Amino acid sequence: MTNRSVDWLMFWRWYHYTFFWVLLAVGILFRIAYALRFPRLPWNRASFFAVGTTVVSSFCAGWFPILPVLFGGLLTLAVGSFASRLFVAAPLIAVSLSVETAFIDMLWLRLQLKEVPKRSFPQLLMANLLITSTALPLVLTWALTHPIEVIA
C-alpha cells in the first residue's frame, strides 16, 4: 500500500515560485474576462485591474498563504494525520486560498470602482476558486514531472 499523504508545508516551500508564476499566468486570463463584465470599467482600467490584482494576489498566495496554513493546521488538529492526504487537503487549500485572494480582489475592485456592485464578492470567489483549482493541479503535475532532488 502506498502513502498518499503530502507534506504541504515542504511542498509550498519548494514550489512557491512555480505556484506564483502559474497563478500569475492563469489569473490574468480569468480576471480580464471577469473585469470586462463590468459596464462602467473601460478596457484600460479593466486590464489594469486584471494585471494589478493578479500580481498582488499571486504574490500573497505564493509567499503569504495565511488562510491555507491556518485552515490546514485546524484540520490537522481536528482529524490528525488524515488531513495530509492529497484528496482531503487539496480542496481545503484551494477553497481557503480562493477566499484569501477574493478578499484581495475585492479590496482592489473597491479602489478601482469606488462603489462595488452587490454580488461582486461571490463572483470573485467563484472566479478565484476556478483560478486556484486550475493552478493547483498544474503545480502538482509540475512537481510530479520535475521532482526536486535533495542530496544530503
Among candidate residues 58, 35, 63, 64, the one with its CA nearest the CA of residue 131: 58
Which whole-number Å values give the CA distances from 125 to 7, 27, 86, 88, 145, in the listed order? Answer: 26, 13, 23, 20, 30
Tell me the pTM.
0.78
Spell out the long-range contacts of 28-37 with Cβ–Cβ below 8 A and sequence spacing 24 or more: 28/54, 30/127, 30/130, 30/131, 31/105, 31/127, 31/131, 34/123, 34/124, 34/127
Higher-scoring residue by pLDDT: 6, 23: 23
Among candidate residues 135, 143, 121, 140, the one with its CA nearest the CA of residue 28: 135
pLDDT of residue 13: 75
- Arithmetic mean of pLDDT, 31-41: 78
- Arithmetic mean of pLDDT, 47-61: 86
Phi and psi at residue 87, to the nearest 5°: -80, -10
Mean pLDDT comparison of 5-19, 63-77, 104-118, 127-141, highest-scoring range: 127-141
d(CA 60, CA 16): 11
pLDDT at 19 exceeding the cut of 80: yes
pLDDT at 113 exceeding the cut of 80: no
SS3 116: coil
d(CA 20, CA 52): 14
CB-CB contact of 59 with 20 (8 Å):
yes
